[in-house]
Structure 1
Amino acid sequence: MLIRWAPPQGDWVKLNFDGAYRGNPGPAGIGTVIINSSRILLGGLYGSLGLATNNEAEIRALAAGLDLCVQRGLDKICFEGDSQIIINGVSKSNFPNWKLGKWVPHINKALESINSFEFKHTYREGNKVADLLANMGIEKNNGTIIFGNEDVDPMVLNTILSERPEWHNTGIG
């Protein structure tokens, strides 16, 4: 079965999110990317978390990406990640792990300002750009870099385009 990233439909945007880590717990990073149905990059972020577990990195990536969507006034969003634990937990607002559950109120509050949303699980192959950004976040060592289509770092853009060459002529490059 071929797994690939697919754009959202109509006037929806897709936020792909991922957490990366080296050790569990260990140095961790987050990455998100927001793309519309025309495959145009609307924004994203990557950053370091310091020490975190794999699941903490995943949920914090979702929370950071969600905050970015709210800041940009996006209101029809498909949230897509490769952690089934996070997708199931957020969809049901229930996490058995208290470290993850503490993010539920923040996420639910942010979701109140979004008109329509859905959560979808994808496999790693469909989440490559967010994964790449999360790994760049580990290397960042401190802080978070937020970018839009106009101000994306050339290194980040080249990295994204190396993973998604079909985007070269669709507004992202």
Structure 2
Amino acid sequence: MATLWVLWSERNNRLFEGRSNSPYYLYIKVVVLSISWARAMPMFKFISAFDLWAGWKVVCNSHVSVPRISQQWVKPPVGFSKLNFDGSSLGNPGPAGIGGVLRNSEGEVVKAFSGPLGVADSTEAELRAAYQGFLVLGRERLAHSLVEGDSVNVIRWLKGSVSPPWRFLRIFDEIKDLSVGCSVDFLHVRRSANDIADRLAKEGVVNQSLELFDYLPP
């Protein structure tokens, strides 16, 4: 089903928009979509996106449950970059910060960021972190990217699966504007796979201003 959907979308892109994607990108798109659908099934709901990514062919052909395994960050496929973002709020609402890191397929840091928001709740902090992440993606002009966050709701909103609450519509629309022309797939991950972005967000709470790095700050 995922393959048919991706091929249909690609056909429409070529026919009506005059643009096309590489076969390798289409393959990755099928895998990501299959993982998203698999995680909606009861037998796979406790399996991380990382575990499904690592053995998706076996899992998708399985008829038995698979033990839960701790998740960790994994490099994106060749030709892709990966953005991890997170927001932190001390008090919810309270003093808040954002953080994120963009890495290439070798796991090398392309750009990292950390900065304060003032007073905000955790959901707004997550969205602000995603916004800053897309600013970074736009500046780096990367072809294909995976975007990971540990907020289920924010990832659902970014995917378009569910509409965000009205109070977040403005920042959400700003993120959508930044994503125009970007080839991006969104994945929800556990905090253990988002630990660097989480640390940068917590450090951002006490920073004086937004900081951008070409390396991972100690």
Quickly name the TM-score band, shorter chain normalised: 0.7 to 0.9
- Number of residue equivalences: 150
| Structure 1 residue 108, shift from structure 2 partner | 1.3
More helix by share: 2
Equivalent in the alignment of 1:27 = 95
Instruction: Give deviations 1:113-171, integer Å, cap 9, x for gaps.
Output: 31x2100000010000000000010011x32001113xx6xxx2x3xxxxxxxxxxxxx
**Does the CA contact (< 8 Å) of 1:93 and 1:104 recur in 2?**
no
Return the offset for 1:23. 0.5
The alignment's C-alpha RMSD in Å is 1.3
String of CA shifts for 1:1-40, please: whole Å, max 9, x gaps: 2110111001100000000110111000000100111011
Q: Distance in 1 between matches of 2:70 and 2:172?
A: 33
Cα separation, 2, equivalents of 1:146 and 1:98: 30
Q: Which runs of 5+ in 2 are unaligned?
A: 1-68
**Counterpart residue type for residue 129 of structure 1:** I
CA gap 1:37/1:94 in 2 versus in 1, 3 angstroms: same
The amino acid that maps onto 2:210 is T
Give the one of 168, 171, 175 matched to 1:103.
171
Residue 186 of structure 2 corresponds to residue 119 of structure 1: yes
Does residue 81 (structure 1) correspond to residue 172 (structure 2)? The answer is no
Q: Report the TM-score when normalising by structure 1.
A: 0.82
SS at match of 1:37: coil
More strand by share: 1
Q: Which runs of 5+ in 1 are unaligned?
A: 159-173
**1:38 aligned residue (106, 114, 118):** 106
Runs of 4+ aligned structure 1 residues displaced above 3 Å come to 93-96
SS in structure 1 at match of 2:88: strand
Range with bigger deviation, 96-105 or 57-66: 96-105
Structure 1 residue 93: Cα displacement: 7.1
